[in-house]
Amino acid sequence: MAVVKYSEEHEWIRVEGDTGTIGITQYAQEQLGDVVFVDVPAAGRKVAKGESVAVVESVKAASDIYSPVSGEVVEANAALAESPGDVNLEPMGKGWFFKLTIADKSELDELMDEAGYATFLKSLG
């Protein structure tokens, strides 16, 4: 069964075995507005927890997407080049950004579960 964790930067990671699929939350896409461009990392890139690994541009702003854990990118969502709006339509589904092999699963313990993320969002006012 997949486990989903959240970062304070509004990224989510769905963990299945040693692989994590990463994207942005519903809240993040709402803050961005209509997404018009996404730049995803190339497969084979090694990333550190907290490192900027992708960029999303909307009609309002450009924002960095940070990796919630360390690892190696194994797949990027190339479909976002043609359909960046998928990030708005299905941020937790087909709007995912990249998948990576998780280097250190203990880093997941520093992320929030769904209830913790909901509480965090309330604290933002």
Residue-wise pLDDT tens digits, 5-41: 999 999 999 999 999 999 999 999 999 999 999 999 9
pLDDT digits (tens, 9 = 90+) for 48-100: 999 999 999 999 989 999 999 999 999 999 999 999 999 999 999 999 999 99
Range 42-46, long-range pairs (CB < 8 A, 24+ positions): 42/73, 42/76, 43/73, 43/74, 43/75, 43/76, 44/72, 44/73, 45/72, 45/73, 46/71, 46/72, 46/73
What domains lie within the chain, and their CATH numbers?
3-123 (2.40.50.100)
pLDDT above 80 (res 1): no
